[in-house]
Amino acid sequence: MRVIAGEMKGRHLKTVPGKSTRPTTDKVKEAVFQIAGPFFTGGLCLDLFAGSGSLGIEALSRGMEKAIFIDKHPKAIQTIHQNLNALHLEQQAEVYRTDAYRSLKRLAERGLQFDLILFDPPYSKIDYAKFLHTIESLQLVKLNGIIYCEHDATEVLPDDLEHVKILKQENYGGTIGITIYHALTDCNTPHL
């Protein structure tokens, strides 16, 4: 696994040992960032269910100013720290070992809003609608922000969000689905 583009292009990343995580392929990663970026001039990124941290690290390499990595598995947290240290990105990152859903409330309490939210949970093990509605209701995505969701190709993600609309949906290899949302209105403004 490697960084696809930007300042860290070509640098190799460690993967989480074992079979508890499923790294995003280079092909999918490149497609995602072509839509979401492809490059950034600063901004704040949230990598939920971060695994090795490869998506958040890709965002940093492409110009995000800071990334927050969330995962509850100790091996994932250790791997994220190893990858950040190897690329000298520690000062641009916060890493938390915690439940992804509970972390959303804590981030909102800090008043944080994200330009990019990377959401790549274990397939078929979480309620995407619950997460997306919570992200929206807690006003965690900035106006014009992007939410990237990776999911099983058979999973249908919600299209009934108030401030966040589907920008693109795509299937890769018949098994991986991606849905990219765009915050078209400010979540802080009541919808009339």
Residues linked to residue 66 through DSSP beta bridges, in sequence order? 44
The backbone region for 55, taken as left when phi is positive above 0, alpha when psi lies in -120 to 50, beta otherwise, is alpha
Q: Radius of gyration over alpha carbons of the chain, in Å? A: 15
Which pLDDT does position 191 carry in this prediction? 39
Two tokens, residue 144: 């014009």
Which pLDDT does position 122 carry in this prediction? 82
First to last CA, the chain: 46
Q: How far apart are CA 4 and CA 11, in angstroms?
A: 8
Which pLDDT does position 158 carry in this prediction? 86
Question: ∠ CA 157-163-169 to the nearest 5 degrees?
Answer: 35
Query: Which sign does the torsion angle of CA 25, 130, 145, 47 carry?
Result: negative
Q: How far apart are CA 176 and CA 172, in angstroms?
A: 5
Which pLDDT does position 192 carry in this prediction? 34
Which pLDDT does position 114 carry in this prediction? 97
Print pLDDT tens along the chain (192 aa).
889 999 999 999 999 987 656 667 777 788 788 877 788 999 999 999 999 999 999 999 999 999 999 999 999 999 999 999 999 999 999 999 999 999 999 999 999 999 999 998 887 788 999 999 999 999 999 999 999 999 988 888 888 788 889 998 888 877 888 899 999 865 554 433
- The strand pair at 164-172 and 176-183 is best described as antiparallel
* Domain ranges, ordered by start, for the chain: 26-183
CA-CA distances (angstroms) from residue 16 to 19, 23, 77? 8, 9, 9
Q: Which residue has the tokens 């509850």?
A: 72
Domain covering 26-183: architecture: 3-Layer(aba) Sandwich (3.40)
Which pLDDT does position 27 carry in this prediction? 77
Q: How far apart are CA 83 and CA 15, in angstroms?
A: 9
